[in-house]
Chain A
C-alpha cells in the first residue's frame, strides 16, 4: 500500500495547543513522524534582555498559561542565585503551597483535556469544576485567576489572607475524596483501559537520554524528582514522597502508567499542602503586611558582569530551568542574556518518535499522556 504524509495540526484536538505533527502512514500504521513547533514563539528571551529583573516575572507567568505559578517561581530561584538574595522561611512555605496548588490545577487541566481525547467528555466538566477551587485560592494570593505575578525576588508579594488556611484545608480535603471519584470513573471504564494500556511504551533510560523528565520518567519506575535531587524551598520539612509507578512491561511505561503517576502526584501534592499549612512559621492565621520581613527581604537590583544564575525546578511537566547572565543594560539592571529550558520543547520531538509503529488512532492517547503545553514550548 502506498505510504503518505498526513498533517495533524496546527488546529487539531490532539495538539493541546498550536503545533503541527506530520505523520507518514502505511495504511493505519505510523512509519515516520516530524514535529513542527514555533507557531506561538513570542521571543520572551529577547524581551527579557530589556527588562529589569522584577519586570521579568509577569513574562514568566505567561510562558505557560496553565501553570503560571511554577514558572514564575522557577525564574525567581534563578534570579535569587544571580542577585544573592535571602528568602524568609515563611515565604518559602507560601511558595511551596502556591506551587503545589498550581500543580493540582495544572494536572486537573491535563486530565480535563485528556479525557475528551480518549472519549470521556464527563472528565472535562468534572475537572474544570475542581480546578476552579484552586484557581480561587490562587486568586486570593496573586489577585488574578491565571497570571499571578506573585513571587518576588527575596520573598512573595503579599502574605496569605486571613481565613485562607481554613478554605484551603476544606477544599483540599474535599478534593482528596474527589480523586477517588475520578479513579472510580476511569479505572473501571473499559474504553479508558483499552485505549491506554499497552500503548505508547517509553523506557526510563531512553527518556532521560532524550531529555524527558518529571512525571513522565517517574511513570517508568524511577523516583527521580528535582525536589529532592536538587533541593530548593522547604520540601525536606513536609511530609511527602515522590509519586512513582510500577510499569507493567519490559518496554517501559505506557499511557496508563503516565495517567496513574499524575493521579498519585495529585495525592502527594494535597498531602504536602495540608502538612505545610500547619507547619508554616508565624502561624497560618496571621497576616503580615506586604513587605514585612517575615515574607520579603530586600534584594539587590543590579547584577555585575560575569555573574550567572541558574535554577533547576520541578515544574508540572518536568524540570524547568533558567540560566541568567548578569551585566546587561543600565549598569546591570537587566539580564545580559536570559535562557529558558522548557521540558516540553525536548519532550515533543521525543514523543513524536515513540509513536512510530503504533496506529494513527493511538496518537491522541500517546501525545496527551505526556501532557504537552505549547506556551512553554515555543516561548
Chain B
C-alpha cells in the first residue's frame, strides 16, 4: 500500500471552523496563553460560512439602565420556556466587551447622525476579513481549504483531528490537547447564502466521539429569496407585498414565513417591495448590495415589479439545534471537546425560536470567546497523551461492512429529499416524519456499512454521512416532541404543551435515543 504524505501538526488548541465563532475561539485561546493554536477551515477563513456573505445585526445591549433587562425579558418570552437568563446575561456581557475590543482594534463601525458609532451591526465580508487579520496577527496557524474529517480520541478524551487539504491534495492531522468544534450548523446544501459549507460535519464528528446533540427538532428555519437566486436576506421583505400567480395579494410586511410557505405548497408566490419609501429603498440598496445583484442583473425593478420567491432551508444554521453543551464554556461532556457558534445548540439563548441574525451573531462572539478560553485552560492542565490516539470517524471513512461502490451524490440527494421540502420539514406530522425516517435510515445504513472514500472524495463522502445523520436526528427529535413550539410545527399536534417545556438530547448515531432534560448550568447529570 502506498503511504501518502501527511502533514502533521501539534497544537495546544485546535479550532475546527473559521467563521466568527472559530475566529473568536482562536483569538481567545491565544490571549489565554495557548502557545500553538491551529484553525482549520473547510473553505477560507474570511469568506466561509453564513456570516461572511451576510450583513447581520448583533444582540448588543448597553449595560446601563434597564435595556438589558427588557431585552432578556423579550428573549425569554420568545424562547417559549427553553431560554435561560444566565446564558442571556453572559452572552450580552461577553458580546458587549468583545465588540468594544473590535472598535478599539479599529473595526470601521458606521457613525450615526449624532457622531456615536453604531455597533449592533456587522457587515459580513468586512467583519470576517478583519477577524482573519486579527487571528493571523495573534500567531494562529490557519489552514484554509482543509476540512476536518474526523476527531482523534485517546483514553483521556479528544486528542485532535484528521482532515484533508483540498488544494495540495494531502492528508493532514493535528494532535491537540483541546479541540473547539465551530464548524457551523447544517443547511442541507440548499444554496441558502454562503451555507453550502455548512453540512453538519462537526455534529457528526462530535457524535462519533461520544457527544450528544440537542434541540435538533428546531432545525426547520427557512430563508426567503428570489426563486432563482441564493440571496436569502430577509430584511427587504419587511416592505414586501406577496401575491399568488393570479396577482391576488396574500400577505404584506413582516412575519411572512408561514403564509408564504403555505402558498408555495399551492403554487408560485411573488413579491414586490412596493411598501418601501424612497429613503428605505436607498438604504436597502446601499446597505445590502448583494440583495439587489440578482434583480439588477436580470433587469427587474424589485420596488415596482413582482418577482417569484422561494424558501431555502437554513436548517440549524438559523435554527437552534446542535451539539449539546453543559455550560457557558461549551463543554460537550467529552473531555477536551468544546462546541461553539452554530455547531452548538443555542437553546439556552433562543429556546424554540430562530437564532437567525442578531442572537446567533452575539452567540458566535460569546460562545467562541468562552470555549476558546476554556480550551486553552484545559490544554494547559492536561497531561501529555501517553498512548497513540485513534481516529473516530466511521461512515464514509471506515464502513462497517465491505466497502462497495456507493455514490455520495446519490446519498446527498436522498438526505435532501427528506430534509428540504417544506411539506415534510416545516409542516410536520408523525406519518410524514416516519416515512422520511424509513428513507433516511435506509440511506444511512448504506453510508454506514458501505461508503468509503479517500483523499478529496472523502470530504464529499463525509458530507453525505453528516447530512444523513443530521436529518435523521432532526426527525427523531421532532417525533418525540408531540406539540408545536417555536420553529417546530406539528400539524398533528398544533398546540403548545406546557409539560414539554424541556430540551431533547439525542444520543447515538445508529440506535438513536431521545432523552428529555432540563438545562442546569454546569450539570453533567
Q: Bound pair: A and B?
A: no
